[in-house]
Amino acid sequence: MEVNERRIGQQIRNFERALSSYPNKEPFSRFLTQFFKDNKQMGSSDRRMTSRLCYNFFRLGTAATQLSVTDRVVLAEFLCETESTVVSYYKPDWTSRLGDPVSDKIDFLVGLDLINRSDLFPLQQHLSAPIDTELFLQSQLVQPDLFIRLKRGSEAKVKHILTEAEVTFENIRPHTLALRNGTNLQQLKGLSGLYEVQDLSSQKTIDLIEAKDGESWWDACAASGGKALLFLDKYPSVKLLVSDIRMSILRNLDERFDFAGIKNYRKKVIDLTRDPLTILDKELFDGIILDAPCSGSGTWGRTPEMISQFKESAIENFSVLQRQIAKNVLRHLKPGKTLLYITCSVFKEENEDVVNFISEHLGCELEEMVTLKGYEQQADTMFAARLRKK
């Protein structure tokens, strides 16, 4: 691999300038968009490399903090990439190891006393029991795939358009495709309205429930409507209420529903930390989907800046919040009917511990509980449990 010293120096300077400008108060992707707008002199290759170096750097978590920023990004490139001019320039003796399995590269750096395994994901002691710690750890060093859910009846057309455009994809499920992260689908004519971007594990959560025509369901923390769209695609005759604490996010939901041609739904702004009786009165539902606010730790492969930003104390705060919300929504579930509890967390305090609380204190019986191990398929890792109200 040809190494251009001047070019690498510029890449490192761009990376360090972006990193030092980041205030750690917003998602890095949002910051980076504005950073590039403010630095129009950066070409497309400069932007790609700056983004790559920053995200790889974040994947180190709190590892090797004793080293300089430049030395740490070299380690990050070594762990995250199979080809790297940065590694070839700063650590030429390591170049032959770039293609090794991630586990071997971690072992190599541990053997050199450059990193501690536990620092790559410093909250390992909180992981849910079914999670393979080592495989999960390795997955944090690999960018997840882009997953799309195909609208029912559009499968053949979408695959034809992608094939004609020479876009590589993999069939994962009957309505799910995996593509390389960063694939620009918006530029492909004819695709608009035929798919939704939705992680594989998120799509799997709805597999735990069944709904009947005419039933009344409540998506209690609907956000921008990803799971509601999936639910209605599968059960179009269900009467659905969507709610969120933020009107702005429900406006985004309205736009997505309108684009998808969905008109038959209700929406309400509801603060679920309080009893929703004043808004819902005595309304009872045949099923409730509770995609609870959480740490989002199962999605940090996409937002690795969170690995070092997240405070351990927040885990318990989320767990308390989740229990309170579950208590409030269950007041509006008919006896004998289903609660689907979902998080995109990998922490037991937000998953099994909350489900145990619901079972023991809120009058529900656990029917099925699953950790959706996205780390096995370059996807997000999530948790879902189906409970029935007694």
Q: pLDDT tens, 326-347?
A: 999 999 999 999 999 999 999 9
The vertex-27 CA angle with 132 and 42, nearest 5°, equals: 115
Catalytic residue among 80, 221, 294, 344: 344
Strands (E), the chain: 146-150, 169-173, 176-179, 195-197, 216-219, 239-244, 265-269, 285-291, 333-343, 364-372, 382-389
Q: Which of 150, 142, 254, 233 shows the shortest CA–CA distance to 195?
A: 150
Percent of the chain with pLDDT over 70: 100
Mean pLDDT of 5-32: 95
271 is in an annotated binding site: yes
Say whether 248 sits in a helix, a strand or coil. Answer: helix
Query: What pLDDT does residue 124 have?
Result: 96
Whether 344 is catalytic is yes
Q: Burial-class residue 116 by CB neighbours within 10 Å (0-12, 13-18, 19+).
A: middle
93 is in an annotated binding site: no
Say whether 210 sits in a helix, a strand or coil. Answer: coil
Percent of the chain with pLDDT over 90: 96
CA atoms of 340 and 199, how far apart (whole Å): 18
Q: Is the pLDDT of residue 109 over 90?
A: yes
Q: CATH homologous superfamily of domain 204-387?
A: Vaccinia Virus protein VP39 (3.40.50.150)
Q: Put the strands of the sheet holding 195-197 in their side by side order.
A: 169-173, 176-179, 146-150, 195-197
pTM for the whole thing? 0.95
Mean pLDDT of 212-222: 97
Q: What is the mean pLDDT of the chain?
A: 96
Q: Is the pLDDT of residue 78 over 90?
A: yes
254 is in an annotated binding site: no
Kindly indicate the confidence band of residue 4, based on its pLDDT and cuts at 50, 70 and 90: confident
Query: What pLDDT does residue 2 have?
Result: 75
Q: Is the pLDDT of residue 1 over 70?
A: no
Q: Write out the two tokens for 219.
A: 């998506």
Say whether 167 sits in a helix, a strand or coil. Answer: coil
